[in-house]
Structure 1
């Protein structure tokens, strides 16, 4: 299955969580910390820490708890420069 992350094509497997597909494709920096702008990504991998959040259709979701879907448009919460 193919989806995009910040407009870059990424492939995933049916039933796989977004976080796994993103990590496998080398996308480790999913958001910026609000305090210091530091890189954040996967940490607990079970939906408790909120470190892996991304935006899908305007909604912030935990990438470790959201399944890959064909054509999904995923956006990081990184501050654009």
Structure 2
């Protein structure tokens, strides 16, 4: 299945979470903190810490560790809070 990450076509597997697909492509951070701009990625992996937030299909603050990919999803790294 095909998705895009920051505009780059990426192949993902059915049932894979956004976080798993990003890690598989070698990406370890996909969000910056609002204060300080520090890189964040997968931390707890169970949806508790909210460190793995991304924008999916234009919707901000999606937990990458919880969201299962769908064919055609557009993933964008998140800069700070995009509420």
Q: Is the pair's TM-score, using the shorter chain for normalization, greater than 0.5? A: yes
TM-score (norm 1): 0.89
Q: 1:12 maps to which residue?
A: 12
TM-score (norm 2): 0.87
Root mean square deviation, CA, Å: 1.3
More strand by share: 2
Q: Which moved more, 1:41-50 or 1:55-64?
A: 55-64
Deviations 1:24-74 (A, max 9, x none): 101222110112101110000010011111011332210111111111001
Runs of 4+ aligned residues of structure 1 deviating over 4 Å after TM superposition are none
Which structure 2 segments of 5+ residues have no match?
A: none
Secondary structure at 1:23's aligned position in 2?
helix
Question: How many residues were matched structurally?
Answer: 79
